[in-house]
């Protein structure tokens, strides 16, 4: 392993930071960037087409991050990656400046120092940074740390940018504390009458589902891998493990017509890829598989697939049903412009997860329970 390299920058010196960033972006198969502030973005950076995991997480303390820079980065991202640009909205005191990446030869690297993603950091500031190859064990620690940050972050989307306020120079110089602790992605959760009774019904549905969970998973597995099993075979057997008669179906009527004629072979392949994914990568796999099913025009990729995800992962994924869509319109939810279908779903999931974290006293304790609350309120 090579020794650490120290590079110091001043207004009169060339910035090695640009060179190392270009190396990271062009070579990485996994790339994670955390920065306290974002005030500029280099649109000429080119991300390795084989990069399978990518995150940029920024801070918003004191309103220093610039909307124009966020929009610049959003425009730079392809539709399937627009959900991989996050803001640490629930963290006050978010001040890291680091880049971690892994290359195809499995070597891992880091840049850590004083530089935020600002134009001044690359051009006019006095900055001190180090670049080093790091052991894979340290890279794994960095990924786990990133996941911890992600759990307190939301997608930088159109609705977040609308609510976010930049600080002026006076506010920044005074370090106005009101910017440090304000939570921007604040979603007011509904509390309709009969909420506790609705949640109890939902908990009973989840309890019934757990009795059939392993058999339902086996059905998806057989459909994905058994060349002799047809979509209609899947549809018919599905009724034994999920439905109104079984007692574990959460969505309303209307699925049957689309469902009966769906391509369950492709849907099962996607579902198995999702449930077998590592938790650290599952959101990315969900995006990839929903976008794949969208390209194949599989009609059950929305309400049915999202219900399966919600049943198997009630803390992570919401139903995408009519009541939820109406609720999102009511709260003026707007995902990143030109985001892919999978990215929009993950943006919804992150914001609803985030809303429950902000409201620990709310009767709903997971996204499956929140769904029935939303249903009752529409």
**Residues sharing a CB contact under 8 Å with residue 280, sequence separation 6 or more, in sequence order:** 143, 144, 147
Percent of the chain with pLDDT over 90: 62
Q: Give residue 118's pLDDT.
A: 72
- Give the chain's end-to-end CA distance (angstroms, integer): 59
Over 90: is that where the pLDDT of 182 sits?
no
CB-neighbour burial class of residue 272 (10 A; exposed 0-12, middle 13-18, buried 19+): middle
Domain with CATH 3.30.870.10 in the chain: 5-181
Binned at pLDDT 50, 70 and 90, residue 171 comes out as low
Binned at pLDDT 50, 70 and 90, residue 186 comes out as low
- Whole-angstrom CA distances from 123 to 30, 36, 63, 117 are 27, 18, 22, 11
| 8 A C-beta contact, residue 351 and residue 155 | yes
DSSP code for 62: G
64: left (phi over 0), alpha (psi -120 to 50) or beta: alpha
- pLDDT, mean of residues 343-352: 93
323 vs 119, which has greater pLDDT? 323
Binned at pLDDT 50, 70 and 90, residue 185 comes out as low
Domain 5-181 has CATH 3.30.870.10: yes
Supply the pTM of this predicted model: 0.88
Query: Tokens 């997971």, residue?
Result: 366
Q: Give residue 2's pLDDT.
A: 63
pLDDT tens, residue by residue, 253-291: 877 776 778 999 999 999 999 999 998 899 999 999 999
Mean pLDDT in the chain?
89
- Whole-angstrom CA distances from 375 to 190, 202, 284, 328, 368 are 10, 11, 28, 12, 11
Q: In what order do the strands lie in the sheet with 5-9?
A: 5-9, 127-134, 108-113, 97-103, 28-35, 53-58, 85-87, 154-155
Residue 38 CA to residue 22 CA, distance in Å, equals 17
Residue 18 CA to residue 191 CA, distance in Å, equals 50
Over 80: is that where the pLDDT of 378 sits?
no
Residue of 127, 101, 103 lying closest to 113 (CA atoms): 127
pLDDT tens, residue by residue, 211-245: 999 999 999 999 999 878 999 999 999 999 999 99
Over 90: is that where the pLDDT of 178 sits?
no
Over 90: is that where the pLDDT of 184 sits?
no
- pLDDT, mean of residues 170-183: 51
Lowest mean pLDDT among 32-46, 137-151, 156-170: 156-170
Residue 340 CA to residue 22 CA, distance in Å, equals 26
User: 97 pairs with which residues across the strands?
Assistant: 35
**Residues sharing a CB contact under 8 Å with residue 165, sequence separation 6 or more, in sequence order:** 63, 179
The pair of three-digit structure tokens given for residue 377, joined into one six-digit string: 């309120």
User: 165 pairs with which residues across the strands?
Assistant: none
Q: Give residue 205's pLDDT.
A: 96
pLDDT tens, residue by residue, 109-132: 999 888 777 777 677 778 788 889
The pair of three-digit structure tokens given for residue 315, joined into one six-digit string: 């803390």
323 vs 187, which has greater pLDDT? 323
| 8 A C-beta contact, residue 154 and residue 160 | yes
pLDDT tens, residue by residue, 59-107: 998 899 999 999 999 999 999 999 999 999 988 889 999 999 999 999 9
Binned at pLDDT 50, 70 and 90, residue 179 comes out as very low
Over 80: is that where the pLDDT of 170 sits?
no
pLDDT tens, residue by residue, 5-30: 877 877 777 767 788 889 999 999 99
């Amino acid at each position: 392993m090579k020794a650490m390299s120290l590079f110091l920058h001043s207004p009169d010196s060339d910035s090695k930071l640009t060179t190392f960033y270009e190396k990271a972006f062009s070579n990485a198969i996994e790339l994670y960037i955390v920065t306290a502030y974002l005030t500029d973005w280099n649109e000429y950076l080119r991300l390795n087409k084989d990069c399978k995991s990518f995150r940029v997480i920024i801070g918003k303390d004191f309103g220093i991050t610039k909307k124009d820079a966020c929009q610049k980065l959003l425009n730079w991202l392809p539709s399937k990656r627009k959900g991989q640009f996050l803001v640490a909205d629930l963290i006050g005191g978010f001040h890291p400046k680091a880049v971690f990446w892994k290359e195809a030869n499995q070597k891992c690297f880091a840049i850590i120092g004083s530089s935020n993603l600002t134009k001044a950091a690359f051009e006019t500031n006095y900055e001190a940074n180090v670049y080093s190859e790091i052991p894979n064990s340290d890279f794994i620690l960095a990924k786990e740390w990133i996941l911890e940050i992600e759990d307190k972050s939301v997608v930088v989307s159109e609705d977040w940018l609308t609510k976010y306020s930049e600080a002026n120079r006076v506010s920044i110089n005074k370090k106005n504390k009101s910017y440090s602790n304000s939570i921007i992605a604040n979603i007011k959760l509904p509390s309709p009458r009969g909420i506790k009774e609705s949640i109890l019904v939902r908990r009973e549905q989840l309890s019934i589902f757990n009795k059939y969970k392993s058999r339902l998973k086996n059905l998806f597995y057989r459909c994905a891998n058994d060349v002799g099993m047809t979509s209609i075979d899947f549809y018919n057997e599905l009724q034994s493990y999920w439905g109104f008669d079984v007692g574990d179906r959460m969505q309303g009527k209307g699925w049957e017509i689309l469902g009966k004629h769906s391509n369950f072979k492709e849907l099962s392949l996607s579902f198995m890829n999702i449930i077998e994914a590592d938790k650290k990568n599952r959101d990315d796999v969900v995006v990839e598989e929903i976008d794949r099913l969208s390209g194949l025009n599989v009609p059950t990729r929305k309400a049915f697939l999202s219900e399966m995800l919600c049943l198997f992962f009630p803390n992570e994924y919401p139903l995408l049903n009519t009541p939820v869509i109406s609720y999102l319109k009511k709260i003026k939810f707007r995902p990143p412009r030109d985001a892919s279908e999978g990215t929009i779903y993950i943006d919804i999931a992150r914001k609803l997860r985030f809303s429950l974290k902000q409201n620990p006293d709310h009767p709903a304790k997971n996204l499956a329970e929140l769904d029935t609350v939303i249903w009752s309120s529409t």
